[in-house]
Amino acid sequence: MKKTAKSWNVYCTRFLIKAKQLNSPLTFVDMQGHEHYGVKGDYFVESVDGKQTILSRQLFEDVYITMGPAKKRWQALCERKMPPASTVQAIKAQRRVRDASISPRQVHRLPLVV
């Protein structure tokens, strides 16, 4: 791939991706055999699982917010760390207390009017 894009940055919505804004047209065929085409200003996008696509500038800039430059292990930002067991136990205890204080609603049956 020739130098058709600026440097990588990390972006997120619900999903973390890295992207480059194209500074010239780019066409490529992905691993599923789909052809992708972008013009100057569009974004070349790579997801954590390695899938690549091109998004229009308008769509990309409406959806994504920048998180800064991509590092070598940018995918690590997606890894979730579990809280300590004591924190998990405390949360479960709070839920049990909350759930015990909730009483079921009474169902009122209304007469059927014909």
Does 31 map to a domain?
yes
Does 77 map to a domain?
no
Cα distance between residue 89 and residue 42, in whole Å: 47
Label the pairing between strands 43-47 and 52-55: antiparallel
Tokens at residue 100, please?
């015990």
> How many of the other CB atoms lie within 10 Å of CB of 111?
5
DSSP line for 25-48:
-EEEE-TTS-EEEE-TT-EEEEET
Q: So what's the pLDDT on residue 65?
A: 78
18 with 76: CB under 8 angstroms? no
Does 81 map to a domain?
no
Domain containing residue 28: 9-71
Does 105 map to a domain?
no
Q: So what's the pLDDT on residue 5?
A: 65
Mean pLDDT, the chain cut into blocks of 10 residues (114 residues total): 69 78 93 92 90 92 79 58 59 62 55 63
Nearest alpha-carbon partner for 18 in 30, 28, 26, 10 = 10
Does 87 map to a domain?
no
Q: What is the pLDDT of residues 36-54, one digit of tens each?
A: 999 999 999 998 888 899 9
Does 98 map to a domain?
no
Query: Which amino acid appears at position 62 of this protein?
Result: D
DSSP 5: B
Q: So what's the pLDDT on residue 50?
A: 85
Does 26 map to a domain?
yes
Q: So what's the pLDDT on residue 8?
A: 81
Q: What is the total count of domains within the chain?
A: 1
Q: So what's the pLDDT on residue 42?
A: 96
Q: So what's the pLDDT on residue 48?
A: 81
